[in-house]
C-alpha cells in the first residue's frame, strides 16, 4: 500500500513537472517570437530593401530563442510518454520490500 | 546569377546542412568512444531535430520578397510550432520504439541544438565581414 502511494506520488509530481516544462517553454518562446516577429515587420516597413538580410537575421536569432524550448518540450513529452526515470528508481528501491 | 533572395535561402539551407554534419561527427565520435549503440543513439537523437529543421527551412524560405514579409512571418511562426512539436514527438518515438540508449540520444539532440548556436554565430560573423 505504501509503495503504491509512493508510485502515485512520483507519477503525480512527474506530471506536474512535465506540464511546467512544456508550459514554461511555450510561454518563453511565444514572448520571444512575438517580439522577434514584431521587430522584423517594423524593420521591413522602414527599409524594404533589407528584407532578405532581415529574414536571415530573424532565422539566426530564432535558433537562439527556440533552443531551450525544444529541449524542454522533448523532456516533457519524454516524461509523459516514454520511460519515467524517477518511477524506475522508486521501483528499483521497492523491489527488496516486495520480494520481486 | 543568384539573387539576394536565393542567397538567403541558400545560406539557411547551408546552416542546416552544417548542423547535420555536426550530428554525424558527434555520432562518429561517440561510436568510437562508447560503442556502436551509443553512436547510433546519438545519430537518431540528433536527426530527430535536424530533419524537421531542414523541412522548416525549405518551406519558410520558399518566398523571400519584401512584399511577402507578412506571409513570411506567419509561415515562420506556424513552421516553428510544427518544428518544435514534431521534433519532440520524433525524439520520444525514437526513444520508445528503437533500441537506443537514452543518455546518448538526449546528448545528440542537445548537441545538435546548441551546436546550431555556434553555427549561426559563425554565419553572423562571416556575414559581418562580407558587408564590411
Is the pLDDT at B2 greater than 80? The verdict is no
| ∠ CA B114-B115-B120, rounded to 5° | 100
Percent of chain B topping pLDDT 70? 89
A70–chain B Cβ distance below 8 A for any pair: yes
**Per-residue confidence (pLDDT) for residue B66, from 0 to 100:** 64
**Minimal Cα–Cα distance from A56 to chain B, Å?**
6
> pLDDT of A79-100, one tens digit each?
888 777 888 888 887 777 766 5
Mean pLDDT over the full length of chain A: 86
Question: What would the DSSP string read from start to end of chain B?
Answer: ---HHHHHHHHHHHHHHHHHHHHHHHHHHHHHHH-HHHHHHHHHHHHHHHHHHHHHHHHHTT---GGGHHHHHHHHHHHHHHHHHHHHHHHHHHHHHS---HHHHHHHHHHHHHHHHHHHHHHHHHHHHHH-
Is the pLDDT at B48 greater than 90? The verdict is yes
Eight-class DSSP state of A82? S
Distance separating alpha carbons of residues B44 and A98, to the nearest angstrom = 37
**Per-residue confidence (pLDDT) for residue B18, from 0 to 100:** 93
Burial class for B105, CB neighbours closer than 10 Å (0-12, 13-18, 19+): buried
Is the pLDDT at B131 greater than 70? The verdict is no
ipTM for the predicted complex: 0.79
Is the pLDDT at A48 greater than 70? The verdict is yes
Cβ A51–B69 below 8 Å, yes or no?
yes
Handedness of CA B119, B121, B124, B128 (dihedral sign): negative
pTM of the model: 0.84
Mean pLDDT along residues A23-50: 90
**Minimal Cα–Cα distance from B24 to chain A, Å?**
19
B76–chain A Cβ distance below 8 A for any pair: yes
Residue carrying C-alpha cell 507578412: B70
Positions of A marked active-site: 66
- B55 band by pLDDT with thresholds 50, 70 and 90: very high
**Per-residue confidence (pLDDT) for residue B71, from 0 to 100:** 84
| 3-state DSSP assignment of residue A84 | coil
Amino acid at each position: 500500500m505504501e509503495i503504491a502511494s509512493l508510485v502515485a506520488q512520483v507519477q503525480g509530481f512527474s506530471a506536474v513537472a512535465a506540464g511546467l516544462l512544456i508550459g514554461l517553454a511555450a510561454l518563453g518562446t511565444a514572448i520571444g517570437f512575438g517580439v522577434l516577429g514584431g521587430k522584423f515587420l517594423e524593420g521591413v516597413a522602414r527599409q524594404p530593401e533589407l528584407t532578405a538580410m532581415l529574414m536571415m537575421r530573424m532565422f539566426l536569432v530564432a535558433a537562439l530563442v527556440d533552443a531551450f524550448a525544444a529541449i524542454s518540450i522533448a523532456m516533457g513529452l519524454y516524461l509523459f510518454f516514454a520511460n519515467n526515470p524517477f518511477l524506475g528508481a522508486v521501483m528499483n528501491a521497492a523491489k527488496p520490500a516486495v520480494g520481486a | 546569377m543568384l539573387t539576394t533572395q536565393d542567397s538567403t535561402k541558400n545560406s539557411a539551407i547551408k546552416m542546416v546542412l552544417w548542423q547535420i554534419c555536426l550530428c554525424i561527427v558527434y555520432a562518429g565520435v561517440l561510436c568510437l568512444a562508447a560503442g556502436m549503440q551509443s553512436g547510433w543513439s546519438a545519430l537518431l537523437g540528433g536527426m530527430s531535430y535536424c530533419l524537421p529543421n531542414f523541412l522548416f527551412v525549405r518551406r519558410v524560405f520558399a518566398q523571400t520578397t519584401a512584399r511577402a514579409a507578412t506571409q513570411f512571418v506567419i509561415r515562420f511562426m506556424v513552421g516553428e510550432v510544427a518544428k518544435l512539436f514534431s521534433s519532440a514527438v520524433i525524439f520520444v518515438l525514437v526513444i520508445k520504439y528503437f533500441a537506443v540508449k537514452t543518455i546518448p540520444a538526449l546528448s545528440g539532440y542537445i548537441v545538435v541544438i546548441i551546436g546550431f548556436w555556434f553555427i549561426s554565430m559563425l554565419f553572423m560573423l562571416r556575414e559581418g565581414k562580407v558587408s564590411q
